Amino acid sequence: MRLSEFWALMEQEFGSGYAGVVARTQTLGSIGGRTVHEALEEGVPVRTIWEAVVRDTDVPPHHHWLADPEDRRA
């Protein structure tokens, strides 16, 4: 997973303004109580971080991946 895809998923789930807040403040037990930013700085793989976000914040299954570009235009 690319970092750009990760941020697109974060924005899809939390909104463009709130995604950064979640990344800075939400600690994720699935990655040792780190925030997204801490995990990125420590070199945790981006996919592992996204999987932690999915688990720890109850992201619904239909948001685990980016929406089809056709769907995003609607």
**Full DSSP string of the chain:** --HHHHHHHHHHHH-TTHHHHHHHH--BGGGTTB-HHHHHHTT--HHHHHHHHHHHTT--GGGSSPPPHHHHT-
The reply to whether the predicted model has a pTM over 0.85 is: no
User: What confidence tier does 74 reach under pLDDT thresholds 50, 70, 90?
Assistant: very low
Query: 32-65, pLDDT tens digit by residue?
Result: 999 999 999 999 999 999 999 999 998 888 888 8
38 part of a folded domain? yes
Q: Is residue 73 part of a domain?
A: no
Domain range for 40 is 3-66
Is residue 50 domain-resident?
yes
Residue 53 in any domain: the answer is yes
Angle at CA of residue 7, ends 42 and 43, nearest 5°: 10
Number of domains in the chain: 1
The verdict on residue 42 lying in a domain is yes
What is the pLDDT confidence band of residue 70, given thresholds at 50, 70 and 90? low
Cross-strand bridge partners of residue 28: 34
- 12-24: average pLDDT: 95
Q: What is the mean pLDDT of the chain?
A: 89
Q: Please, are residues 5 and 66 in contact by the beta-carbon 8 Å criterion?
A: yes
Confidence (pLDDT) at 64: 83
